[in-house]
Chains A and B, each alone.
Chain A
């Protein structure tokens, strides 16, 4: 018997706004001038923040920090396609997505400054604390989407991951559940070309990450990740599919990490300046600016004002971060259990004595009030 084709697949790539600011009118999503300006403003703001955070780390005023330089569009745009009832599950390089969802940037500074209070989010934001062990959040995102389905809510879950995390078994498991259960899960792969030093070609032998969707009965698409309009269209359509119960989507956003992996990394060890320069020509912020200027949504003057305001906002966040009093060390005993067991009660009492002793020897100075629930 002749071989029959039982399955064929194709993967498409979406590009709408090119690096010169030229737009494909046929593909352009319906999006108001105000919304587009809001996207641009937030991209400018997060770039200003990122630059400042990098400098703070170099000055010893912040711990290890993962830059998002170059990934402003993939960070800001997808998160802005969500409603408040939807869930955001970002990666550790997620300060931009958090910011787009209304979180104050001082939170990110506190967290990367080694202060656990940075991860105490507002109760009214459906933003999950990110997972540092790469990829371990993906099945949780499927669980959140499942919860919405079981609860008959039309909320979706937007899960970020990197090109590296797509290699983990967790991706397979999350997509398997999402496909079988037809969950409103959007897996946004920020393909920034590197998992620390390991280049994309060594991460996966397939031509695209988007085509992975096919193995789970999901819809997959590749987009230019530095193209705010393409991201907006792809994510909005995925959100609509998810709300209608049509199942999960994999979006591969092809972008580039212009900075180091983190401030502890030295990217010059594994990639050339020529490669970085080539990607700088595809800057996501610059091309959106060109479009807005061309369409008179922005002028040189209003752009200058917008940048100045971004600087002021970032300075205010840094000031708020640095004005935050040191945490009381006793806080670490709070919130480990709903009700602390005997060993924690004993150990906290022992630690309180140690702190008093250190204070008596001037090794620890005045402490702020204790925060958090104990026992």
Chain B
């Protein structure tokens, strides 16, 4: 199998989806001629033309709103919002319409659309280019939220997202766009939405993570291993709907869990997962579940972002805290 990085894997998934699905189209700022600012859509306008890979005017809310309309008409739009920090302006469409259309119309209309956006920090980017806004989306009913951490899943999840009958928000961990490399099947395939991946087996503590943080946690697991602690790392891949059976199976095995993520803890998706574990597996727990997130402050500019987003040491410390309870 050929080895691809995350950008190449998403690109290949999009390319195969556009080939297979005549209703699929891509729209967003700079996605056509420029191939996207991260080059995720590189070459697609050349192959599929300007009507299917569209450079839109600069209007994020318009990009998502017209995607809703395109999907209502029967198209399968894959729209891109260029940076995570530009997502707040589209929430009007996401919350009030994308997530509700099926239910509001009593099943008459559905929105088979995908909203792609880069996710996360630590690439020395400017302000509003490094954020982890997943909780705003996972809090919203009616939409699914996925985030891969490996090239193989990146390709399979984008294809699954495009084929899904409901709107899917597809986050791309930009820190590992080029450093996450791996073998990717050349064929057209789906990675199932709603299924977590066991990234590392262990027996003493479960570390739950998603996106780039999976790699931080794998590094933390190596450090823990050196101290004789066997950590299991669960890569959620889908944030909503959660793979609760996989979470509970691991936590019931180890009896101890922590959730590591890039967003601030307060009101985070980690808080929801922690709550579910306590509600469903209380008697199997040896210690309260810990959350390792960014601080509850505005994300600083890049000189200090490594102190804001959790590093492997903070994950190690939290694991030791859980184990010494």
Query: Which residues of A have CB within 8 Å of B304?
Result: 114, 116, 327, 329, 331-332
Query: Which residues of B have CB within 8 Å of A322?
Result: none
Query: Which residues of B have CB within 8 Å of A118?
Result: 301
B55 near A132 (CB under 8 angstroms)?
A: no
Say yes or no: is A259 at the interface (Cβ < 8 Å to chain B).
Answer: no
Considering the complex, which residues of chain A in the window 316-330 have a beta carbon less than 8 Å from any beta carbon of chain B? 326-327, 329
B302 near A196 (CB under 8 angstroms)?
A: no
At the interface with chain A, which of B67-75, B122-130, B180-188, B212-220? B122-130
B86 near A133 (CB under 8 angstroms)?
A: yes
Q: A196-B34, A344-B297 are in contact. Are A112 and B126 (CB under 8 A)?
A: yes
Say yes or no: is B58 at the interface (Cβ < 8 Å to chain A).
Answer: yes
Q: A133-B89, A351-B307 are in contact. Are A332 and B58 (CB under 8 A)?
A: no
A351 near B61 (CB under 8 angstroms)?
A: no
Nearest B residue to A134, CB-CB? B58
B296 near A203 (CB under 8 angstroms)?
A: no
- Indicate the size class of the contact surface on chain A: 35 or more
At the interface with chain B, which of A70-78, A151-159, A165-173, A284-292? A165-173
Chain B 259-299 interface 0/1 with A at a Cβ cutoff of 8 Å (1 = within): 00000001000000000000000000000000000011110
- Indicate the size class of the contact surface on chain B: 35 or more
Pick from B29, B88, B317: contact of A198, CB below 8 A. B29
Q: A195-B29, A344-B296 are in contact. Are A169 and B61 (CB under 8 A)?
A: yes
Q: A133-B86, A134-B86, A332-B295 are in contact. Are A197 and B57 (CB under 8 A)?
A: no
Nearest B residue to A205, CB-CB? B57
Q: How far is the CB of A272 from chain B (nearest CB, A)?
A: 12
Query: Which residues of B have CB within 8 Å of A270?
Result: 33-34
A198 near B55 (CB under 8 angstroms)?
A: yes
Say yes or no: is A204 at the interface (Cβ < 8 Å to chain B).
Answer: yes
Considering the complex, which residues of chain B in the window 297-316 have a beta carbon less than 8 Å from any beta carbon of chain A? 297-298, 300-305, 307-308, 313-314
Q: How far is the CB of B55 from chain A (nearest CB, A)?
A: 5
A132 near B128 (CB under 8 angstroms)?
A: yes
Query: Which residues of A have CB within 8 Å of B266?
Result: 343
Query: Which residues of B have CB within 8 Å of A202?
Result: 55, 57
B297 near A336 (CB under 8 angstroms)?
A: yes
Considering the complex, which residues of chain B in the window 108-146 have a beta carbon less than 8 Å from any beta carbon of chain A? 124-129
Nearest A residue to B296, CB-CB? A343
Query: Which residues of A have CB within 8 Å of B35?
Result: 269
Q: A133-B86, A165-B58 are in contact. Are A196 and B30 (CB under 8 A)?
A: yes
Say yes or no: is A19 at the interface (Cβ < 8 Å to chain B).
Answer: no
Say yes or no: is A84 at the interface (Cβ < 8 Å to chain B).
Answer: no
Bound form: Cα–Cα A118–B126 in Å: 13
Say yes or no: is A359 at the interface (Cβ < 8 Å to chain B).
Answer: no
Considering the complex, which residues of chain B in the window 24-67 have a beta carbon less than 8 Å from any beta carbon of chain A? 29-30, 32-35, 37, 55-62
Q: How far is the CB of B84 from chain A (nearest CB, A)?
A: 11
Chain A 334-347 interface 0/1 with B at a Cβ cutoff of 8 Å (1 = within): 00100000011001
Query: Which residues of A have CB within 8 Å of B317?
Result: 354
Bound form: Cα–Cα A358–B301 in Å: 21
Say yes or no: is A38 at the interface (Cβ < 8 Å to chain B).
Answer: no
A333 near B55 (CB under 8 angstroms)?
A: no
Say yes or no: is A248 at the interface (Cβ < 8 Å to chain B).
Answer: no
Say yes or no: is B202 at the interface (Cβ < 8 Å to chain A).
Answer: no
Pick from B30, B37, B59, B124: contact of A114, CB below 8 A. B124
- Most chain-A CB neighbours within 10 Å: which of B30, B34, B56, B58? B58
Say yes or no: is B85 at the interface (Cβ < 8 Å to chain A).
Answer: yes
Pick from B33, B59, B303: contact of A326, CB below 8 A. B303
Q: A63-B124, A332-B308, A347-B295 are in contact. Are A115 and B301 (CB under 8 A)?
A: yes
B37 near A196 (CB under 8 angstroms)?
A: yes
Say yes or no: is A297 at the interface (Cβ < 8 Å to chain B).
Answer: no
Q: A114-B124, A132-B126, A133-B88 are in contact. Are A164 and B297 (CB under 8 A)?
A: no
Say yes or no: is A111 at the interface (Cβ < 8 Å to chain B).
Answer: yes
Q: How far is the CB of B162 from chain A (nearest CB, A)?
A: 24
Nearest B residue to A346, CB-CB? B296
Q: How far is the CB of A334 from chain B (nearest CB, A)?
A: 9
Query: Which residues of A have CB within 8 Å of B126?
Result: 63-64, 92, 112, 132
Q: A132-B127, A133-B85 are in contact. Are A116 and B300 (CB under 8 A)?
A: yes
Bound form: Cα–Cα A198–B86 in Å: 18
Q: How far is the CB of A20 from chain B (nearest CB, A)?
A: 34
Nearest A residue to B305, CB-CB? A114
Q: How far is the CB of A60 from chain B (nearest CB, A)?
A: 10
Query: Which residues of B have CB within 8 Å of A327?
Result: 303-304
Q: A63-B126, A64-B126, A202-B55 are in contact. Are A332 and B86 (CB under 8 A)?
A: no
Nearest B residue to A162, CB-CB? B58
A264 near B301 (CB under 8 angstroms)?
A: no
A167 near B55 (CB under 8 angstroms)?
A: no
Query: Which residues of B have CB within 8 Å of A265?
Result: 37
Q: How far is the CB of A72 from chain B (nearest CB, A)?
A: 22
- Most chain-B CB neighbours within 10 Å: which of A114, A115, A343? A114
Q: How far is the CB of B321 from chain A (nearest CB, A)?
A: 11
Considering the complex, which residues of chain A in the window 176-235 have a beta carbon less than 8 Å from any beta carbon of chain B? 195-198, 202-204
If A202-B57, A203-B58, A333-B295 are given as contacts, then 9 extra A-B residue pairs at C-beta distance below 8 Å, sorted by A number, are: A113-B303, A115-B301, A116-B303, A135-B58, A197-B32, A269-B33, A336-B298, A343-B296, A347-B297
Interface residues of A (CB under 8 A from B): 63-64, 92, 111-116, 118, 132-136, 164-165, 167-169, 195-198, 202-204, 264-265, 269-270, 326-327, 329, 331-333, 336, 343-344, 347-348, 351, 354-355, 357-358
A-B contact pairs, 24 of them (CB 8 A): A63-B302, A112-B126, A114-B124, A114-B302, A114-B304, A132-B127, A132-B129, A133-B88, A134-B58, A168-B58, A168-B61, A168-B89, A195-B57, A196-B29, A269-B33, A269-B34, A331-B304, A332-B308, A333-B295, A336-B297, A344-B296, A347-B295, A351-B307, A357-B313
5 tightest Cβ-Cβ pairs between the two chains A and B: A164-B58, A114-B302, A197-B34, A167-B57, A132-B128
Interface residues of B (CB under 8 A from A): 29-30, 32-35, 37, 55-62, 85-86, 88-89, 124-129, 266, 295-298, 300-305, 307-308, 313-314, 317
